[in-house]
Amino acid sequence: MTLRPGSLTFLIIAIAAFGTPGLAHAQAGPKRVTVYIDSVMAADTNEGTDPRLAPMGKKLQGLFGFSTYSLIGHNEGQTDCGKMIAFTLPGGKILHVQPRAIDGDMIAMEIVLFDGTRPMMTTDLKLKNNGTLIVGGPRYEQGMMIISIGASTGGSHPMRAQVGAPAQANTR
């Protein structure tokens, strides 16, 4: 048997090697993504961690060294791949999240953070399903703002803040 390019054997190998994972991707399930946004004010005012932040509070304590973490806003919304969802956050910030594709366990998305109408940051990333991206730094009141962005192809997120009815989001 010779393995000449273009031979039938080659074609079979190629399809067996790449067709199967390709099909698995094609059947990768829901294209709907739930986006969770928790806006947190972090400061050094020794007021402890807002109980509504559990379990994210522990994570924040481990990541940063502030003595106060207070939940100042929670938003969540569902959108489809290719469709941008906009969130109005405290402090005049606006967050646009556009899931692009679901690739295995990763969700590809574009995130744009605005301060009013001025874009502060634009990023393209793949976030692990149920993973968290934290965008922090802008000053907020006596501390600074930390925005936790979670995305999930399921209906819940392990790091979601424990709140009642979340603020609305606008899909476009």
Residues that bind other proteins (CB under 8 A): 3, 5, 10-23, 25-26, 44, 59, 62-65, 104, 106, 113, 118-128, 130-139, 144
Strands (E), 44-82: 48-49, 68-80
Q: Which is nearer to other proteins, 112 or 163 (CB)?
A: 112
β-bridge pairing 106-115 and 85-88: unpaired
Q: Return the structure tokens found at 145.
A: 């703002």
Paired with 37 in beta bridges are 75, 149
Question: Toward other proteins, which CB reaches closer, 25 or 154?
Answer: 25
Q: Which is nearer to other proteins, 10 or 51 (CB)?
A: 10
Least separation in angstroms between CB 38 and other proteins: 12
For other proteins, give the closer residue by CB, 119 or 170: 119
Asked if residues 62 and 78 have their Cβ atoms less than 8 Å apart, the reply is no
Distance CA 151, CA 33 (A): 7
